[in-house]
Amino acid sequence: MTTAPLETYTLREGYGTPLVLLHGFPLDHRMWADAAAALPGEPTVVAVDLPGLGASPLLGEPASIEASADAAAAALATAGITRAVVAGLSMGGYVALALAERHPDLVAGLGLVDTKSTADTEDARANRLRIADEATRSQTVDAVLGMPGVMLGETSKAARKHLTARLEEWIRGQRPDGVAWSQRAMASRPDRTHVLEGFSGPVAVVVGEEDAITPVPEAEHMAAAAPSAQLVQVPGAGHMSAVEEPAAVADALADLLARSSV
């Protein structure tokens, strides 16, 4: 199946090694807007809509994170980006690790935000396939509309109530087939801890202290695996740290950019 390239968005035009941002599920590039705006200095920042989400086309079968990574690399090449610091939140982190494995020349540094390098448990995989089937059957995204309740940390749910509505709005705009494809792609991904062990560039592992989906021990596992990782824990944030505490995540990514350009 031939498809149009994934959509890329230049969020900032600046200098030096570009920062590429990959979003989480079931969202799109908009989740990075506040963190990109908060980045100090004058970096170039490009965000990608992953397959079937936002304005990007769906890819063919079988659904896989590897296909997402290859499509992202192709879209970035079309945008003139052949070397970048790549940061992904959650599903975006799964794609970032696959990029580091399959397109090592592209990845100058890795930002792994509220994500994990391990594969799913059998229960988690079965749950994803159930949600994919439900989205396909109903042709709605109803099966994932409740996700903001677990994506946001307790602090945000109490003190930043507007974020629940913002996430719901972003989720409502997604395609059911894109939601299903993404879930099946995530279900099929392998453990990529070995990619971190072999990655020689700088790594930032960022995690909201209240992340209930990819909690702090997953971040500690990644930081221990990567030779040059720095672990940043973000107080008052859950799984959507880049949306909940964008300035803190921006600072961590700015530090990663600085470490990647020396």
Q: Quick check: 48 binds ligand MLT (CB under 6 A)?
A: no
Sequence-ordered strand ranges (E) for 95-178: 107-113
Give which of 25, 39, 23, 260 is closest to 141, Cα–Cα: 25
Q: Name which of 58 and 213 has its Cβ closer to ligand MLT.
A: 213
In the complex, least distance from residue 258 CB atom to ligand MLT, rounded to whole angstroms: 26
Q: Quick check: 131 binds ligand MLT (CB under 6 A)?
A: no
In Å, the largest CA–CA distance within the chain is 51
In the complex, least distance from residue 91 CB atom to ligand MLT, rounded to whole angstroms: 3
DSSP state at residue 29: G
In the complex, least distance from residue 193 CB atom to ligand MLT, rounded to whole angstroms: 16
Q: Name which of 6 and 108 has its Cβ closer to ligand MLT.
A: 6
d(C-alpha 76, C-alpha 21), whole Å: 11
* Residue where the block lists tokens 């499509």: 71
Lookup: tokens for 74? 């192709």
Determine which residue in the list 35, 59, 186, 253 makes contact with ligand MLT, applying CB under 6 A: 186
**Helix (H), strand (E) at residue 204:** strand 203-208
In the complex, least distance from residue 42 CB atom to ligand MLT, rounded to whole angstroms: 29
Determine which residue in the list 18, 24, 54, 153 makes contact with ligand MLT, applying CB under 6 A: 24
# residues contacting ligand MLT (CB under 6 A): 7
d(C-alpha 97, C-alpha 192), whole Å: 7
Q: Which positions from 214 to 243 touch ligand MLT by CB under 6 A, shown as an x/- string?
A: -------------------------x----
Q: Quick check: 90 binds ligand MLT (CB under 6 A)?
A: yes
Crossing angle of helices 176-187 and 65-78, rounded to 10°: 120
In the complex, least distance from residue 68 CB atom to ligand MLT, rounded to whole angstroms: 12
In the complex, least distance from residue 186 CB atom to ligand MLT, rounded to whole angstroms: 5
Phi and psi based region of residue 41 (left: phi greater than 0; alpha: psi -120 to 50; beta: remaining): left
Q: Which positions from 144 to 183 touch ligand MLT by CB under 6 A, shown as an x/- string?
A: ----------------------------------------
Q: Where are the alpha helices (DSSP H) in 139-261?
A: 148-151, 154-159, 162-172, 176-187, 193-198, 216-225, 241-244, 246-260
Q: Quick check: 91 binds ligand MLT (CB under 6 A)?
A: yes
Site residues (vs ligand MLT, CB under 6 A): 24-25, 90-91, 186, 213, 239
